[in-house]
Chains A and B, each alone.
Chain A
Amino acid sequence: MTSRNTLSEDLMKGLVRENPIFMTLLGLCPALAVSNKVSSALGMGAAVAIVLIATNFLVSLLKDFIPGKVRTLAHVAIIATLSTIVNLLMHAYTPALFADLGLYAQLIAVNCIIIDRANSFARENSAGRSVVDALGMGIGFTLALTLIALLREVLGNGTITLFPVAGWNGTLIIPGLGAAPIKVLGMSAGAFLVFGYLKAMFNAYRMRKASGEGADIKSGQIA
C-alpha cells in the first residue's frame, strides 16, 4: 500500500532534487528555445505537463499489455498520440500560443523528460504514483522554464508577456528596464547565459545541502 509520504516524495522530487531542467538536464532544447517570453514558457510547460501526466497514466495501465521487445516503440506511439491531441487542441483554442511555440509544440512528441519518465518510472509503478510523479515533474519543468523566461524577458526586453484578457494586451512594461535592456538575453546566447547561471546556483545549493548531510564532495562533484 502506497503511503502518503511516498506520494508527497514522488511529487516534490521533480521540483528541486530531480528537477528535469536544472538537475537531470532533460528537455533543454525547448526550454532554451521558447523561453524568450513568459507566456510561451507557461504554455510550453502546461503542454508538456499534460502530455507527461497522460503518458505516465496510460503507460502504467498498459505495462502488462506492452511486451518488453517493443516497449520503446509502444511508448513513442502513445506519446506521439497524446502530443498530437494537445497540438490539435492548442491549434483550435489557443492559436496565438500555438504560433508562438511553432515547431517546438510538435517536438513534445520526442521530449526526453516524457520518454524518460515513461521508461524509468511509469512502467514499474502504479497508475496513482505515476500520475503524481508526472505532476511533480511537469510542475518542476514549468517553473524552471518560467524562471528562465522571466529573467530573459525582464532583463532583455523590460517586459513580462502574459496572456491577453478582455481589453488588456497581456504585456506588463517594467518601468526603467525598457530604456536600456540587455538585448543579448533575448537572443539564443542569452538563453545559455541565464541557464548557466541558474544551473550554477542549483549546483551550489545541492553541494551545500550534501556537505551539510556529510556526503563526500570530490572536485566539485557529489560522489
Chain B
Amino acid sequence: MNAVFGAALRLLVICLASALVIGVVYFFLSPVIASEGKRKAQMHPAGSIVIHAAREMSAPSSELFGGII
C-alpha cells in the first residue's frame, strides 16, 4: 500500500513540476505568440478590412473591438 502511495506521490510531483514548467514557458512566450497572431491578422486581407472598419467606427465599443484585434 505504502509503495503504491509513494509511486502515486512521485508521479504527482512530476506532473506538478511539468505543469509549472509549461506555465512559466507559456507566461514568457504568450506575448510573442499574441503579437504574431496580430501581425498575421493585419497581413490577411480579411483582417485588415476588419481593423480598418473598427478604426472607422467612432462608438466606444469599436475601441474595445479594435483593442481585441
Residue numbers of A with Cβ under 8 A of B are 62, 65-67, 69-70, 73-74, 77-78, 80-81, 84-85, 88-89, 91-93, 95
Docked pose: A93 CA to B32 CA in angstroms: 8
Docked pose: A81 CA to B6 CA in angstroms: 22
Which residue of chain A has its CB nearest to the CB of B36? A95
Interface size class of B (residues with CB under 8 A): 10 to 19
Q: Is B14 an interface residue (CB 8 A)?
A: yes
Q: Which residues of B lie under 8 Å from residue A74 when comparing CB positions?
A: 10-11, 14
Interface string of B2-43 (1 = CB under 8 A from A): 011011101100110010011001100100110010001000
Q: Which residues of B lie under 8 Å from residue A80 when comparing CB positions?
A: 18
Docked pose: A74 CA to B29 CA in angstroms: 25
Residue numbers of B with Cβ under 8 A of A are 3-4, 6-8, 10-11, 14-15, 18, 21-22, 25-26, 29, 32-33, 36, 40
Which residue of chain B has its CB nearest to the CB of A93? B32
Q: How many A-B residue pairs have CB under 8 A?
A: 51
Q: Which residues of B lie under 8 Å from residue A89 when comparing CB positions?
A: 25, 29
